[in-house]
Amino acid sequence: MKKHGILNSHIAKVLADLGHTDYIVIADIGLPVPEGVPKIDLALTYGVPSFRDVVQIIADDMEIEQITIAEEMMGQNRETFAYMQQEFAHIPLSTCSHEEFKRRSQHAKVIIRTGESRPYANCILHAGVYFGANAQ
């Protein structure tokens, strides 16, 4: 039995299979999932699990090179935007329109749906390369 990290076998497999520049989407309850893109649905009820909880747990287990959010988050979900800026200050944060975000979601390795019910609580996590703690 797995002892550390993400216990959800579907998410653990997706993360283990990511290559450099592949990406995943962490989504609120309303983001449409494009046909052909796998969905891991974690939503239990409104707000559970939260976007923050899922992003943080995945970020602890994933080498993230860049994060993309919709511009609309900045004005219509300031609390989540502030969280993203603060929590991931060391990672480049890019923005695009929500419509462009949805187009980019078509190429995600997976969309992980949370129970988040605040608008525009979505992000694209771009995989980086981890060479280990002792890499030079």
Residue 7 within a domain: no
In a domain, 26, yes or no: yes
Contact 68, 94 (CB under 8 A): yes
- Any domain includes 19: yes
Q: Is residue 7 scored above 80 in pLDDT? A: yes
Is 20 tagged catalytic?
yes
Summarised one tens digit per residue, pLDDT across range 114-136 is 999 999 999 999 999 998 776 55
Tell me whether residue 2 is in a domain. Answer: no
Q: Which residues are annotated as a binding site?
A: 28, 98, 120-122
pLDDT tens digits along 39-96: 999 999 999 999 999 999 999 999 999 999 999 999 999 999 999 999 999 999 999 9
Specify whether the CB–CB gap between 27 and 17 falls below 8 A. Answer: no
Give the residue numbers spanning the domain of 48: 12-127
The domain that holds 65 is classified in CATH as 3.40.1650.10
Domain assignment of residue 85, yes or no: yes
Q: Is residue 103 part of a domain?
A: yes
For the whole prediction, is pTM greater than 0.85? yes
* Tally of structural domains, the chain: 1
Confidence band of 28 (pLDDT split at 50, 70, 90): very high
Active-site pick, 4, 10, 20, 90: 20
